[in-house]
Every structure is written in C-alpha cells, then in structure tokens.
C-alpha cells in the first residue's frame, strides 16, 4: 500500500483516524495496539509473507533489548547486530553475490533470486538503532514487545523512512499528547508531500524513464533533460514521501526529525549531503563514523573512516555495482573538498562565488544521479557519454522539443518548489493576516492530487526498493 493511492487516502487512513480518535476507547494501550495492528495490515497489504519476517525480527530485537538492559553484555549486542545484518545480507545481497560468482564461471542464467522485502533497509536500521540506544544508555529498553513493535513497524515511516532513532520517540510511544491542532498541522504537511509526489515527481518521472529506458537514440539535449528530470524526480519523490510520513506521524502524536533541508540550494557537495536524506547520514555518523574515530584521528585514518561510511552508504542503497560506484564517487569528491579547503571556502562564499559553487554542486549531483539511476556501470558510462556528445552526432532532436513543450510548466514549478522561496512567502502571508490563503492553496493541491491519483496508474516510489 502506498500513501498516494485511493485505498490509503479514502479507506485505510480515514478508518485508522476514526478508530484512533473514537470517543469511547482513549487509553494509550488501545491506541498503541490499534496503530501496531494497522501498521501490520499496511505492510502485509504488499508483503503478506514478509510481514512474518518483520515480526520475527521485532521479537529478536525486543528480547535482545531486554537482555541488554539486564546484563549490558557485548555478546548480546553482537548477537542482535549479527541477526539483523545477516537477514539484510540474505534478502538484499546474497543473490547478487552468488550471481556475480556465477559469472566468473560463465553461468548463463542467474543462479539465485531472492525477493526483496519492501523497506527492509529502513526497518532493519531502526531496530539496530534501538539496540544501539539501549546499549549506549540513550534510552531504556522496553519491557513490552508491543512498544518495540510499534517503534519498528509504525506505518508512516515503515517502508521508506525517514529512519527514526529510537531515543527520539521512546517517550512518545507511551506518553505522547495528541491534539486537534497537531492533527491539522500533520494533515497540511501530508498534503504538501502528496502534491510533491503526484503532481511533480510522477510527471517528471515519465520523461526520465523515457530518456533512460526507452529512447535508444538520444541526443545530447535529450540526455541532459532526462538527467535533470530524474534529479527533480528523486528529490520530490523522496522528500514528498518524507513530508507525508512526518505529517502522518504528527496526526498520531509522533514527531519525526526533518529528512531534507532544500539540498538543491547547496553551494558544495558537502553541504548537499548535510541536507539530503538527513536521517540516513545521521545514522551512519552516529553508529559507524563516530565509533570508528570520526575526524579526531590522523588524516589517513579519517580518510579510511570516511571510505567505510561511503562504501556502506552505496551498499545500503542496493546490491548493484552502480550503487557502489555512486558511493565511491561521493567519497572521492567529499574527501577532495575537505582536504583541499574547498568546502571551507564555499561555506562562507557569497554572490558570484556562491553561484559558481552552486553550479559546480548541481553538476556533480546531476552526474551522480545518472550513475545512481543506471542499471549498470556500462549503462551509466554510455548515458554520461551521450550527455557530452560521445556516441551521438545530434545536439537536439524533435523529442526534446516535444518533451519540453509538455513539461516546461512543471519544470518551472519544480525548480521553484526546490527552494525555500515558497516557505518564505507563506510566512510573510501569515504575518500579514493572510494565512487563510495557504488553506485555499492546500485544498487546491489536495483536489488536484486526488484527481491525479484517480486518473493515473503510474505511481512509483523510488525508495521502496531500499
């Protein structure tokens, strides 16, 4: 089940809200049980078998957490971590590893194909966060498996994040305070995310898909248009989902941290990664980078620590050489920015210098997204080659004109919406007493989004695959 579907919008979510806020049963236990059952139904809607795998992992996490609280045993922590890493490896990486070995022996067909449970990387990292927070004394272990299950399986962030650290919501699981004003704010945030997803991301996604997957004889301009559209698609797809998740959590009294902070206004690649998928970057920083020594070590050791983080970041996104190359590309660029002083220089830059930094950053990010989007390293190399005129003698063609004619309005809106300008305008309207205009705008966005959901069957979510 996806948020931008008629089943979710008109059946699942209204039913859960009505049951959750019914006037007769208001106890915290009832509401937590309801949310957990609803979350399991939400996941089982698309994964009727793998929901049992998730329940098993929840049970292991709960038992390990209780034991950690009693003994503070490193052996228990290690066993819990090994369990989750092993499950993640089996379902996400084992097929890739076996098939790559098979290629060495000239196997003509894939030797192994294990289905990938939706969102396994997200809920696995959350359960690891629970164990780490208990081990480090940042939160107390839950005595009730219900609470651990609710943390791990809470449907707003279950299948595509943001990755919520246990310590951030541990108290809210048992002591949160819901209010009508919070529900309204959550609904507003949800509508913004829904609009990002179905009115922008889905639209530019069709151009990107055609450029990457279907147009075999692309011109230079078409290759660039496809790359730009994918750059916009992945931002509005993922940030839109995060907005919906944060809004849904708020409707039920949970407060998740922000996952995006306008990454496409960055003037350096380092700043870009401080603004993009913040929950993942924070997870690796807290649980990998800092335990390895962070930056309080020699330069050589720091480079190694950074390498490990970006190796794991690439692998986290999938079992594919392109993802690994994507991670290593960012590792190299970020190390150069740090060691050369480029980041420090760009971080204080203003005017023309900052604009040049922004051009450089978006150029790097755009090319990196091509590698990320491509199905293989050879496909990525061929696509980037086309962007620079290698393998084609055409700068532009009729398809570019046709696609631009149909998407230029959406592209303009997308470029505007990827900056804080809209937020600043809304804040000024509120200050001058015109906050009601935002409500009218949100109503229009919701109605247009619903029409788009009803009329289109094209509704992919990029990060469901991770």
What separation in angstroms does the CA of 61 have from each of 42, 107, 202, 351?
21, 39, 37, 51
How crowded is residue 64: how many other Cβ atoms within 10 Å of its Cβ?
A: 26
Contact 195, 83 (CB under 8 A): no
SS3 readout for 129-150: HHHHHHHCCCCCCCCCHHHHHH
pLDDT digits (tens, 9 = 90+) for 98-130: 988 887 777 777 888 899 898 899 999 999 999
* % of the chain exceeding 90 in pLDDT: 69
For 184-242, write each residue's pLDDT tens digit: 999 999 999 999 999 999 999 999 999 998 877 888 999 999 999 999 999 999 999 99
- What's the count of helices (H) and strands (E) in the chain, helices before strands? 23, 0
Q: Is residue 98 within 8 Å of residue 85, measured between CB atoms?
A: no
pLDDT at 466: 63
Q: How far is CA 222 from CA 208, 394, 401, 413, in A?
A: 10, 10, 9, 20
pLDDT (0 to 100) of residue 404: 86
Tokens of 371: 């590698």
Higher-pLDDT residue of 191, 435: 191
Q: Are 274 and 281 in contact (CB under 8 A)?
A: yes
Q: Cα–chain-centroid distance for residue 126?
A: 13
pLDDT at 161 over 70: yes
293 Cβ contact partners less than 8 Å away, ≥ 6 residues apart: 301, 302, 305
% pLDDT > 70, the chain: 98
Torsion, Cα of 186, 191, 194, 199 (10° steps) = -160
pTM for the full predicted model: 0.93
Give the mean pLDDT of 395-415.
86
Q: What is the number of other CB atoms lying within 10 angstroms of the CB of residue 327?
A: 23
Question: What's the pLDDT tens digit per position in 262-276?
Answer: 999 999 999 999 999
DSSP letter assigned to residue 375 = S
pLDDT score of 84 more than 90: yes
Q: How far apart are CA 326 and CA 314, in angstroms?
A: 6
Cα angle for residues 83, 133, 31 (degrees, 5° grid):
90
72 given a catalytic annotation: no
Contact 141, 69 (CB under 8 A): yes
Q: Is 63:162 a contact under the CB 8 Å cutoff?
A: no
Q: Cβ distance 326 to 314 under 8 Å?
A: yes
From start to end of 208-306, where are the E strands? none
Tokens of 328: 């290593």
Give the end-to-end CA distance of the chain in Å, rounded to a whole number. Answer: 16
Contact 84, 127 (CB under 8 A): yes
3-state secondary structure 326-368: HHHHHHHHHHHHHHHCHHHHHHCCCHHHHHHHHHHHHHHHHHH
The residue count for the chain: 466
23, two tokens: 């006037």
pLDDT tens digits along 304-333: 999 999 999 999 998 889 999 999 999 999
Cα–Cα dist 195/200, whole Å: 7
Map residue 130 onto helix, strand or coil: helix
Residue 87 tokens read as 């499950």
Residue 405 — very low, low, confident or very high, per pLDDT cuts 50/70/90? confident
User: Does residue 225 contact residue 207 with C-beta atoms inside 8 Å?
Assistant: yes
DSSP 416: H
In tens, the pLDDT along 356-404 reads 999 999 999 999 999 999 989 999 999 999 999 888 888 888 888 888 8
Apex CA 234: angle with CA 42 and CA 447, to 5°? 60
Helix (H, G, I), strand (E, B) or coil at 96: helix
Instruction: Name the packing angle between helices 377-387 and 351-373 (round to 10°).
Output: 140
Cα 370 to Cα 387: distance, rounded to the nearest angstrom: 10
Residue with token string 């392109």: 322
The two three-digit tokens of residue 300, written as one number:
């050589």
What does the pLDDT read at residue 463?
66
Structure tokens at 31: 């509401």
pLDDT in tens, 9-57: 999 999 999 999 999 998 999 999 999 999 999 999 988 899 999 999 9
């Amino acid at each position: 089940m996806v948020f931008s579907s008629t089943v979710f919008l008109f059946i699942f979510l209204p039913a859960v809200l009505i049951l959750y806020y019914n006037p007769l049963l208001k106890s915290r236990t009832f509401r937590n049980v309801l949310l957990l059952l609803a979350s399991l139904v939400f996941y089982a809607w698309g994964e009727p078998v793998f929901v049992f795998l998730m329940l098993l992992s929840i049970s292991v996490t709960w038992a390990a957490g209780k034991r950690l609280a009693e003994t503070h045993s490193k052996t228990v922590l290690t066993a819990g971590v090994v369990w989750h890493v092993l499950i993640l490896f089996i379902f996400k990486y084992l097929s890739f590893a076996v098939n790559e070995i098979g290629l060495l022996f000239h196997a003509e067909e894939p030797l192994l194909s294990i289905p990938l449970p939706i969102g396994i990387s997200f809920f696995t990292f959350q359960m690891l966060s629970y164990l780490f927070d208990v081990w480090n004394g940042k939160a107390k272990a839950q005595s009730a498996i219900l609470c651990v299950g609710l943390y791990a399986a809470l449907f707003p962030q279950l299948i595509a994040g943001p990755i919520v650290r246990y310590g951030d919501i541990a108290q809210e699981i048992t002591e949160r305070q819901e209010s009508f004003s919070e529900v309204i704010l959550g609904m507003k945030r949800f509508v913004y995310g829904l609009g990002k997803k179905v009115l922008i991301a889905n639209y530019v996604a069709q151009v990107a898909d055609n450029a990457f997957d279907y147009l075999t004889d692309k011109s230079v301009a078409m290759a660039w248009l496809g790359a730009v559209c994918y750059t916009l698609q992945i931002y509005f797809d993922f940030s839109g989902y995060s907005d919906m998740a944060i809004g849904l959590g708020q409707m039920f009294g949970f407060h998740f941290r922000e996952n995006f902070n306008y990454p496409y206004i960055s003037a350096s690649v380092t700043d870009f990664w401080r603004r993009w998928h913040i929950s993942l970057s924070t997870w690796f920083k807290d649980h990998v980078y800092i335990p390895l020594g962070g930056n309080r070590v020699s330069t050589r050791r720091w480079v190694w620590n950074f390498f490990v983080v970006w190796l794991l970041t690439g692998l986290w996104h999938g079992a594919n050489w392109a993802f690994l190359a994507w991670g290593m590309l960012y590792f190299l660029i970020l190390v150069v920015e740090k060691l050369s002083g480029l980041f420090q220089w760009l971080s204080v830059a203003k005017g023309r210098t900052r604009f040049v930094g922004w051009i450089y950053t978006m150029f790097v990010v755009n090319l990196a997204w091509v590698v990320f989007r491509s199905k293989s390293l050879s496909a990525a190399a061929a696509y980037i080659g086309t962007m620079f005129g290698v393998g084609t003698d055409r700068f532009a063609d009729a398809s570019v004109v046709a696609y631009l004619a149909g998407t230029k309005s959406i592209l303009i809106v997308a470029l505007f919406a990827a900056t804080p300008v809209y937020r600043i305008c809304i804040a000024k309207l509120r200050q001058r007493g015109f906050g009601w205009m935002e409500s009218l705008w949100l109503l229009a966005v919701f109605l247009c989004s619903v029409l788009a959901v009803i009329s289109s069957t094209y509704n992919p979510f990029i990060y469901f695959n991770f």
